[in-house]
């Protein structure tokens, strides 16, 4: 018998704002800035517009607004579905870091969208939530989500589960439960409901359904907390035992890690969180940086390239699986598409991830001239880092070689500056809200737990200027 569910309950019940270190708070604000921008960028995605139309058609209680859609309100779970999908729509949201070599890099979760979405939606529905309450709920959900992802055996992801959808449900449920003041049996039932509602499989990577996994995690986490608050019951120790979440979904957990407990230390501080420089799978970023370095150092033009050869291990090649991307969703999981994008544009923001560009002749031609090669030597070096190299053969006979930097740009060892993060936020907000609203929202989020007006923050993301 184990007591992980009981540990989670004690952590959620007992953690206060005063328990959060200055470093945890500073990183939390950065994660919130990043996620706020992604809600705005995602609100214009076709998948999210479909979900918005569906939520409006269903109608119901006027709990919370929708991102980039004005003041119209819908029931909290439906709002959470839309906000969560928007936050993950570009695959640009932050990622959990692990120092455990057993975790193939990239197997963990995108931690911020589920708890922040749940906290914002419950705050909007409840009204008059203090910024410190919001930050606390976010941090509690973030920690519960990350520790479950870290403690679970890597088999969970290898079997095809999408952790951000499955484990993200617990992050959303914990954050919502904290703001709703759940404790004891009701809190246990919320986690039990989350365990049965958790879902998402990797077959849908490269489709609209991948970001919906995170949207459903937010929706289901909020639903679990609301139902538990009304007396709906579930198994009170659903993380534990033969039929518990760890056993069924991950074939067990690491007992030594679990013995350290939640907050020992908070994951947001150690080993930390990565903020993504590109809107694509995290396993692609070092290679994209390497291509950018090669292109800029040699002032390389697409018309000069005869062939591109990309060498990597199975940890990149298996999930980044599209040999030639036909649309922008497949491009997020296609090394030929991503390398071609860097070569053609010398950048890769959400503005480049458009179907007409990915399907265009220039992108299709370069992808067809790119070989993805499994390198046994890179496999033998292990999967604790993202390792790859690029070889470009030019039409005049040169062979240009660039290894990827194993330090992740955006990760704790090579973080994006606050100014760089603000630039990413503004890029995401461009075309969704005006410049004045962007600056007001950025200031509100950066001061969220120092008197920030949560109602105004939500209104700005929903486009109520």
| DSSP string covering 242-272 | TTSHHHHHHS-B-HHHHHH-TTTT-TTTTT-
Query: Strands across the sheet with 305-312, in order?
Result: 370-374, 305-312, 388-394, 399-403
Confidence class of residue 1 from pLDDT cuts 50, 70 and 90?
low
Question: Backbone dihedral region of 75: left (phi > 0), alpha (psi from -120 to 50 degrees) or beta?
Answer: beta
Topology of the domain comprising 4-276+414-461: 2-methylcitrate dehydratase PrpD (1.10.4100)
pLDDT tens digit string along 196-254? 999 999 999 989 999 999 999 999 999 999 999 999 999 999 999 999 999 999 889 99
Lowest mean pLDDT among 97-106, 256-265, 280-289: 97-106
What's the confidence (pLDDT) of residue 351?
86
Average pLDDT over residues 97-109: 78
CB 120 within 8 A of CB 10: no
Domains in the chain: boundaries: 4-276+414-461, 282-403
Asked if the model's pLDDT at residue 105 lies above 80, the reply is no
| DSSP string covering 46-112 | HHHHHHHHHHHHH-----EE-TTS-S-EE-HHHHHHHHHHHHHTTS-S-EE----TTS-TT-S---S
What's the confidence (pLDDT) of residue 148?
97
Asked if the model's pLDDT at residue 106 lies above 60, the reply is no
Q: Does domain 282-403 have CATH number 3.20.20.70?
A: no
- pTM, rounded to two decimals: 0.92
What's the confidence (pLDDT) of residue 383?
83
The two structure tokens encoding residue 312: 């990597």
Rounded to an integer, what distance in angstroms lies between the CA atom of residue 28 and that of residue 134? 11
pLDDT tens digit string along 387-444? 999 999 999 999 999 999 988 889 998 999 999 999 999 999 999 999 999 999 999 9
CB 392 within 8 A of CB 290: no
Average pLDDT over residues 323-332: 95
- Which residues have a Cβ under 8 Å from the Cβ of 214 and sit 6 or more positions away? 84, 85, 87, 88, 93, 110, 113, 114, 164, 165, 168, 200
What's the confidence (pLDDT) of residue 272?
95
Residue 255 CA, distance from chain mean position: 26
């Amino acid at each position: 018998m184990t007591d992980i569910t009981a540990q989670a309950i004690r952590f959620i019940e007992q953690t206060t704002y005063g328990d959060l270190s200055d470093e945890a708070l500073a990183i939390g604000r950065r994660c919130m800035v990043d996620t706020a921008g992604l809600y705005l960028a995602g609100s214009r995605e076709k998948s999210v517009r479909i979900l918005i139309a569906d939520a409006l058609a269903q109608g119901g209680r006027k709990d919370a607004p929708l991102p980039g859609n004005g003041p119209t309100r819908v029931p909290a779970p439906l709002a959470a579905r839309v906000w969560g999908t928007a936050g993950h729509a570009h695959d640009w949201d932050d990622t959990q870091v692990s120092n455990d070599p057993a975790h193939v890099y990239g197997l963990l979760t995108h931690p911020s969208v589920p708890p922040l979405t749940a906290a914002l939606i419950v705050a909007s529905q409840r009204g008059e939530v203090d910024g410190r309450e919001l930050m606390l709920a976010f941090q509690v959900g973030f920690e519960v989500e990350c520790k479950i992802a870290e403690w679970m055996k890597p088999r969970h992801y290898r079997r095809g589960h999408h952790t951000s959808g499955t484990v993200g449900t617990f992050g959303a449920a914990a954050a919502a439960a904290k703001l709703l003041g759940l404790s004891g049996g009701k809190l246990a039932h919320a986690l039990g409901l989350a365990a049965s509602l958790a879902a998402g499989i990797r077959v849908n990577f490269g489709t609209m359904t991948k970001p919906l996994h995170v949207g459903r995690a937010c929706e289901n986490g909020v639903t679990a907390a609301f139902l538990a608050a009304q007396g709906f019951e579930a198994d009170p120790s659903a993380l534990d035992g033969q039929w518990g979440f760890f056993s069924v979904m991950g074939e067990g957990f690491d007992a030594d890690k679990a013995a350290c407990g939640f907050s020992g230390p908070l994951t947001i501080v150690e080993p930390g969180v990565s903020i993504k420089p590109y809107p694509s799978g995290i396993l692609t970023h070092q290679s994209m940086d390497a291509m950018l370095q090669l292109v800029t150092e040699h002032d390389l033009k697409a018309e000069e390239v005869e062939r591109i050869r990309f060498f990597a291990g199975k940890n990149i090649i298996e999930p980044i699986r599209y040999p030639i991307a036909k649309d922008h969703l497949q491009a997020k999981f296609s090394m030929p598409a991503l390398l071609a994008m860097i070569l053609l544009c010398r950048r890769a923001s959400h503005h480049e991830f458009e179907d007409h560009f990915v399907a265009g002749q220039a992108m299709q031609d370069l992808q067809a001239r790119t070989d993805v090669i499994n390198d046994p030597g890179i496999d033998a070096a292990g999967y604790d880092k993202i390792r790859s190299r690029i070889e470009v053969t030019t039409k005049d006979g040169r062979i240009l070689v660039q290894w990827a930097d194993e330090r992740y740009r955006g990760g704790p060892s090579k973080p994006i500056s606050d100014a760089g993060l603000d630039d990413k936020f503004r890029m995401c907000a461009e075309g969704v809200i005006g410049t004045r609203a962007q600056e007001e929202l950025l200031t509100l989020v950066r001061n969220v737990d120092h008197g920030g007006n949560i109602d105004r923050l939500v209104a700005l993301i929903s486009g109520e200027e």
